[in-house]
Structure 1
Amino acid sequence: MAKTPGLQPRRAALKMLDAVLRRGETLEQAGGAANGLGNPSDRALARAIAGEVLRWLVDFDALIDSATSKTLPDDAKARMVLRMMLAQWLRLETPPHAVVATALPLLDGGPKRLAHGVFATLTRQDAKLPDNPALPDAVMMRWGEWAEAIASGLAVPPPLDLTVKDHEKTDEWAEKLGGESLYPGHLRLQRGTAVEKLPGYEQGAWWVQDLAAMIAPRLCGEGKGQALDLCAAPGGKTMALASAGWQVTALDNNARRMLRLRENLARTRLEAKTVIADALEWEPDEKFDVILLDAPCTATGTARRHPEVVHRIGPRQIAEMADIQRTIITRAVKWLAPGGTLVYAVCSLETGEGEDQARWIDGEFGLTPLPVGNTELPEALEPTSEGWVRTHPGMLPENGGLDGFFIARWTK
């Protein structure tokens, strides 16, 4: 029997979605299912289908349920294939006949007629998606008053943000790359071009870093001594600190990601001492003038580029990460020199990893809060009344949004 053209990337997407939604893997971990595809465009298609299913999962399920007399189980293969069919039709603009031809073979031995019938019903009805993806009820409750705005920032993958090594050359690189700047040293480009092919990549003139992620290292100030970048890989914060003049020690326990950090340092011709070790066990032989702790977290703030976090993160994971964060914070405070600065950051939208941790630090260690000022932030962003920074994907909508971060700062 002849192979169906385009079937293999759909099979890979199905495996990726199963790994995320049934086994709790990240989309990056699940991406191995697409690595065996020889054609780069097939790999990109598999990841695009999986990503759009995860981004619009609640809405796809609502459409499927509207066209079935008996609700399909959440883990039914037919439901997953229908989600993929809707993602291709409604998000990737694949013609319905091509969707059907490449989807039904995924249900060999299964309810092909059911899937075909549901999809045909929805296409006849000219089904539509809302402007913004719906969030699961539990996530809506956790994110509270931010939830609606956050959802508005999750509809499409984010643009490409770059940090320019020499901030004084921001305008020069904006002209060369065709980007806009929302912050000194920041450039925002449209998605689509391979990063390695952009001007300036080989010479190390810039590195990829989300706008929100740029804020924490900037709040460390200009280099005045020894800096510790805890949980440093893949290196954006380390490079920002080094380019600001700090003598940086970059620590991370992931050898593969630390290799990327070292490669990034070499490409940008910046220097830092790199240490592969667990922050829960490592002991330094010196005190640090600034410690940047971008702590391990649930990473729900990265939902624009990692939509699976909306579905795989819950109270258990949040509580586990909050405990780890407090352990690392306690250790980091001991490594801070008198007069030194601690910057705590998480790419999380969870108050248990952000605001609650800042209040705990306020009451636990005798550190002096160092409020963030308006002039330290990108234009149109403001610190909270406590002098903290809280960003989420619904902010700066006219400029393409930004990741969710919480950042706070103290001095010893």
Structure 2
Amino acid sequence: MDIPGLPARRAALNLIDAVLRRGETLDQAAGTALARVRGDADRALARAIAGEVLRWRTDLDALIDSATRLPLADDAKARAVLEIMLVQVLRLETPAHAVIATGLPLLMGGPRRLAHGVFSTLTKAEAKLPEVPTLPEDVTERWGERWGDRIGAIAAGLTDLPPLDLALRNADETAEWAERLGGKSLMPGHVRLPRGTAIELLEGFREGAWWVQDLAASLPARLLGAGEGRKVLDLCAAPGGKTMQLAAAGWQVTALDSSKRRLERLGDNLKRTGLEAEIVQADALTWETETRFDAILLDAPCTATGTCRRHPDVLHRIGERQIGEMVELQSAMLERAAAWLAPGGTLVYAVCSLEPEEGEEQAGKVALAPVPIGAAELPEGLAPTAEGWLRTDPAMLAGEGGLDGFFVARWRRN
């Protein structure tokens, strides 16, 4: 029989391995890795351990290397187990005896004495992590070239898990829902809550008064304004946050996505909120339509490096190859989206990426008339760029809990 808590730690080890060795996202790996973990609490623990290891891995490895005479291989199982053990003590405040009891059994047949010795040495020395995570070397080099001195502030934005943002179905009820939920609003139609409450138990969930959506992720749809019955195409729409925003703003929405499973989630979300949209399962690169739309929102597939504060696996999976692949796909989708615009129609392009190749450089190639984003369209504390684009990163609005990294630009077909 397994030691209590051991399945969760084994699952965390498998999650980390899937990210580092196979390049999977934590979400992709979760189905297999968590299959034998019983109970929501243990599944949540496994994900929390894996996420914190990936967030702090550079610093955890530095501690491990400081306590070993000969360095462990980067892919050694003992290193991964020590990362799991240390992060529980240093970030999750798990008692050391519980960490040892559930950590060393992961090395059955392996160097348990070594792991025990390293862990004991570091805990007795009261080893600590730095105040801010150290980014992986390749990320530091890449973002250092792109963002210069700002990289330190971005890293600081990854220190803690982000708060919970809600997008409201009715923006006129912002003050009411902020009071009822005990949250804070940073702009109409938004409420921010501290993490920790089960979403399904929050007031307003069952009646569909709101949905979960990071504040930065809600900004692209807002930039299309009121729909007034006009036609909008939401490309790459699932799981539906932007589709619901557009429907709530009075647009006649066509929501297109290639994933059947994700579109089923979109349909469930529409049903819960009482909003309507035409759902189309298709590949945007091969889909054909005679319809010309008054507006198109292209929240394009991307590396998602802007979501690193909630998905730290991107710090270890994404490199120049993945960025290049996404750039090619985005360029093709932008070209097709522009062709579906009606005269006078508006195109909004967005990516949740911190890579300029996917954002600023893509926008510079679009042959439509720019419609600059205005400061009045954004939450207080954010400002458009000199080009009239929007760039956010995890360091922005730090005093309010931060933001995901996004790039957004807007054009009109004359």
**TM-score, L = length of structure 2:** 0.97
Tell me the CA shift for residue 141 of structure 1: 2.1
Q: Which residue of 1 aligns with 2:92?
A: 92
Q: Which residue of 2 aligns with 1:114?
A: 114
Q: Deviations over 1:356-388 (max 9, x none)?
A: 101111xxx2x1111000000011000011110
| Alpha-carbon separation, structure 2, partners of 1:142 and 1:186 | 33
Alignment of 1:134-173 (within 5 A): 134-144=134-144, 145=148, 146-173=150-177
Q: Which residue of 2 aligns with 1:192?
A: 196
- Describe the SS at the equivalent of 1:217: helix
| Alpha-carbon separation, structure 1, partners of 2:40 and 2:409 | 41
Tell me the CA shift for residue 35 of structure 1: 3.4
Q: Which amino acid aligns with 2:91?
A: R
Q: Which residue of 2 aligns with 1:411?
A: 412
Contact map agreement 1:35 1:43 (CA 8 A) in 2:
no
- Describe the SS at the equivalent of 1:227: strand
Alignment of 1:231-310 (within 5 A): 231-310=236-315
| Alpha-carbon separation, structure 2, partners of 1:307 and 1:194 | 22
Q: Which residue of 2 aligns with 1:79?
A: 79
Q: Deviations over 1:19-76 (max 9, x none)?
A: 1111111001111211331221111111111111001010000100111111111100
Alignment of 1:347-362 (within 5 A): 347-361=352-366
Tell me the CA shift for residue 78 of structure 1: 0.3
**Equivalent pairs: percent with the same residue?**
65
Tell me the CA shift for residue 187 of structure 1: 0.3
Contact map agreement 2:15 2:50 (CA 8 A) in 1:
yes
**TM-score, L = length of structure 1:** 0.97
| Alpha-carbon separation, structure 2, partners of 1:293 and 1:5 | 47
Q: Deviations over 1:71-94 (max 9, x none)?
A: 111100000000001111101111
| Alpha-carbon separation, structure 2, partners of 1:128 and 1:230 | 45
Q: Which residue of 2 aligns with 1:124?
A: 124
Q: Which residue of 2 aligns with 1:218?
A: 222
CA gap of 1:271–1:3, structure 2 versus 1, over 3 A, is: closer
Tell me the CA shift for residue 3 of structure 1: 3.5
Q: Which residue of 1 aligns with 2:14?
A: 15
Q: Unmatched 5+ residue regions in structure 1?
A: none
Tell me the CA shift for residue 100 of structure 1: 1.0
Q: Which residue of 2 aligns with 1:34?
A: 34
Q: Which residue of 2 aligns with 1:381?
A: 382
Q: Deviations over 1:104-127 (max 9, x none)?
A: 111011001111111111111110
| Alpha-carbon separation, structure 1, partners of 2:76 and 2:380 | 47
Q: Deviations over 1:121-180 (max 9, x none)?
A: 111111011111110121112222232111111111111100111101001011110110
Q: Which amino acid aligns with 1:393?
A: P
- Describe the SS at the equivalent of 1:214: helix
| Alpha-carbon separation, structure 1, partners of 2:319 and 2:362 | 18
| Alpha-carbon separation, structure 2, partners of 1:27 and 1:77 | 19
Q: Deviations over 1:169-216 (max 9, x none)?
A: 001011110110001100000111111111111111111110001100
- Describe the SS at the equivalent of 1:378: coil
| Alpha-carbon separation, structure 1, partners of 2:320 and 2:2 | 44
Contact map agreement 2:7 2:36 (CA 8 A) in 1:
no
Tell me the CA shift for residue 6 of structure 1: 1.4
CA RMSD of aligned residues (A): 0.9
Q: Which amino acid aligns with 2:392?
A: T
Q: Deviations over 1:277-334 (max 9, x none)?
A: 0001001221001000000000111111110000100000000000000001011110
Moved more, 58-67 or 34-43: 34-43
Q: Which residue of 1 aligns with 2:186?
A: 182
Contact map agreement 1:10 1:103 (CA 8 A) in 2:
yes
Q: Which residue of 2 aligns with 1:371?
A: 372
Task: List 4+ stretches of structure 1 deviating above 6 A.
Answer: none
- Describe the SS at the equivalent of 1:35: coil
Contact map agreement 1:293 1:342 (CA 8 A) in 2:
yes
Residue among 343, 346, 349 paired with 1:344: 349
Contact map agreement 2:157 2:394 (CA 8 A) in 1:
yes
Q: Which residue of 1 aligns with 2:395?
A: 394
Residue among 319, 326, 331 paired with 2:331: 326
